[in-house]
Every structure is written in C-alpha cells, then in structure tokens.
Amino acid sequence: MYKNTGSLWKSLFMSLMFLSLGGIQVDAFVGINWGRMAKQRFVPSMVVDLLLQNGITELRIFQPSLNVLDAFADTNIGYGDMEIVIGQIGWPTDGYEGASEENAERFHRGFLKYLGRKEGTPLRPNKDINVFLLSLTDENMVNTDIGNYQRHWGIYKLDGEPKYKIDFTMHDLNTKPTVAKGTVKMPNRWCVFDGKTEYNETLLMKDFDSACMDSDCSTFGSGATCDHLVFAEKVSYAYNMRYQMNNQDQEYCELLGAELTANNPSTPDCEFPVEILTAEVVDGGSPDTKKY
C-alpha cells in the first residue's frame, strides 16, 4: 500500500507535470510557452481563444491545473485532435513520507502497464499516451523549495545503479534496467563525526549547517530515510556528503570532530553513500584521478 501519499500525489500532478500540446505537424512550426507564474493571468478559455485567433497550434505549459486541462479537453473549441505529451511524470524515492523505492516501483509498474494497453483516456480512447519519465538520475543540487524529494526523482542512483525494477518496453517485465557503464567509483572511505561531546555546540552546529549547505542533506526530511538519525549521526552524514560530493578531497573533511574511516557508517535505513568521481574530473584527465 502507498503510505501518506495524498499531498505528494497532489504535488506530483499540480507542480511537476509538464505538458506539450500540439496538433500533428509535418512541416516546421512555431509554438509558444505559456508561463503562469503571475498574480494577474489569463483564464484558460481566454488562452484557447487567443491561440485560435493567431493560428498557434503548438503550446507548452508548466504547472497545469485541472481547469487548464478542462479548457483544452473541450472538443468544441477546435482542438479535438490535439496531441498531448506528458513532459514530466514519476515518483520520488526519498525526502518525504511516501517517497520510497518500493512506491516508485509500484507506481511505474502500474502506470507503464496501463500505457502498454493503449486504452487512451475517456475523451481520447484507444490512443497512445506519450510520456517523459522523471528522471534518469537523482539531482543532488536541485532547489528544494517545494520539498526535499525534488532531489530524488531518479530511476538510477548517482553511482549508476538502478534503484528498482522498471520495464521501459511497457510489457510488465519484472526486471531492473541495466547498470550504467564507465562510472569511476571512489574507494570505500567516509568522513564522519567522531561523536565526542567536548566540542563547542555553537561551532559544531555551524560546521554541520555548512556541510549541509555545501552538499545534500535532503534525506533528513520528515519521513525520509535518514530522518531517524540522532544528531551525532546526522553530523556524520552531512560531513560525509560534503566529502563525497567533492571527490573525497581530504580538505573537505577538515571540520570540527571529523575523521576518515574505512568502516561503513550506514544504518539499515540510511545509506551513507560513496559517490563516483564527477564527470569534470574523469573527462578532464585531472591528476586527482590518478590517486583512485
């Protein structure tokens, strides 16, 4: 069963779907983007009329709402044959209650199985539904203003390992996608907090906040995989993320109470990752690569 997914699903639909709408074209065309982030904005029916008046048949919308979709579903306005492409849809795996690999696998299995049956929608039966899944990999530098789960849409982890089973052929095959080739994983070592209680709390909190700001602590969100950690463990996690995201450069482990270890500090629910070398280091042939 999905757990606590109501508000997450609402956010998925209202904030993260991106629609590309346009009539079938053979020749080149000019379309238009409709941005809706304004206090004063046209109602959807006005936009439809405006497009018709100007002969515009291609439109992209970010953050569509139900009344927007209703306006374009009205076959009386001359857009009955409009092609609809879902530009972003998926399920996050961390950073929020209900965001998990288990739920992401279940969502994609049901969704892709439905697409494979080619049933279409009630207003467009027996038609293909074209979609772009969100996303190939996690993005640990994405803005988290909407929620920490924004960094965890990836079907793949950042080390190139698939997170869960998904069948891109829409045949409901029970298999994981292939592992990414060519990644350079760094050695199994971690930067952690030594756990001593003698440090100045203000200075320790400063380094903890700084480490999170410089890296990715989105797994601390309510209901996320590392939310249960005690403070000392969260400091270790933040220190390690800063260290890993900077190619295990020892300079980035020079924090209050920090030390390097070869013992994996992960817990059953919270993984302290060892990352891969960044593309800039690998592709640039940096001398730093040689030490790995």
Residues 137, 54: one domain? yes
> Do 79 and 186 lie in a common domain?
no
Please tell me whether residues 72 and 146 are part of one structural domain.
yes
- Domain span at 268: 182-275
17 within some domain: no
Please check whether residues 186 and 268 belong to one and the same domain.
yes
Q: What is the predicted pLDDT for the residue at 223? A: 93
SS (H, E, C) the chain: CCCCCHHHHHHHHHHHCEEEEECCCCCCCCCEEECCCCCCCCCHHHHHHHHHHCCCCEEEEECCCHHHHHHHHCHHHCCCCCEEEEEEECCCCCCCCCCCHHHHHHHHHHHHHHHHCCCECCCCECCCCEEEECCCECCCCCCCCCCHHHHCCCCECCCCCECCCCCCCCCCCCCCCCCCCCCCECCCCEEEECCCCCCCHHHHHHHHHHHHHHCCCHHHCCCCCCCCCCHHHHHHHHHHHHHHCCCCCHHHHCCCCEEEECCCCCCCCCCCCCCECCHHHHHHCCHHHHHC
**Confidence band of 18 (pLDDT split at 50, 70, 90):** very low
Q: Is residue 68 part of a domain?
A: yes
Task: Please indicate, yes or no, whether residues 197 and 139 belong to a single structural domain of this protein.
Answer: no
Domain assignment of residue 225, yes or no: yes
The answer to whether residue 48 scores a pLDDT higher than 90 is no
The reply to whether 49 and 141 lie within a common domain is yes
pLDDT tier, 82 (very low <50, low <70, confident <90, very high otherwise): low
Residues 188 and 119 in one domain: no
In this structure, what CATH number is given to the domain that contains residue 97?
Answer: 3.20.20.80
At 199, the pLDDT band (50, 70, 90 cuts) reads very high
Q: Is residue 244 part of a domain?
A: yes
Confirm whether pTM is higher than 0.85: no
**What total number of domains does the chain contain?**
2
Whether residue 162 is contained in a domain is answered as: no
Q: Is residue 21 part of a domain?
A: no
- 154-179 confidence digits (pLDDT tens): 999 999 999 999 999 999 999 999 99
User: 151 vs 284, which has greater pLDDT?
Assistant: 151
